């Protein structure tokens, strides 16, 4: 995972897509259990990923 995060920090858009594809399914399953509407779960999922990518430089 560290390698993919480094690639994201270097501006690699493909790494962002790869990160999303790896982690979004399990996170979406979790959110679907907590939120009744699929659309709400998908919106929260996207918000989480945008926030994570935006704040990634603080991680370490």
Secondary structure in 3-state letters for 2-40: HHHHHHHHCCCHHHHHHHHHHHHHHHHHHHHHHCCCHHH
Task: Give me the pLDDT at residue 1, please.
Answer: 67
Q: Over the stretch 2-58, which tens digit does the pLDDT of each residue have? A: 799 999 999 999 999 999 999 999 999 999 999 999 999 999 999 999 999 999 888
User: Which residues lie below 8 Å from residue 37, measured CB to CB, with a gap of 6+?
Assistant: none
Task: Give me the pLDDT at residue 60, please.
Answer: 63
Task: Give me the pLDDT at residue 58, please.
Answer: 86
Using DSSP's 3-state secondary structure scheme, residue 56 falls into helix
Backbone angles phi, psi at 20, to 5 degrees: -65, -45
């Amino acid at each position: 995972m560290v390698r993919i995060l480094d690639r994201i920090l270097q501006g690699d858009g493909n790494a962002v897509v790869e990160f999303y594809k790896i982690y979004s399914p399990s996170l979406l399953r979790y959110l679907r259990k907590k939120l009744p509407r699929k659309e709400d779960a998908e919106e929260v999922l996207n918000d989480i990923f945008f926030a994570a990518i935006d704040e990634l430089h603080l991680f370490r």
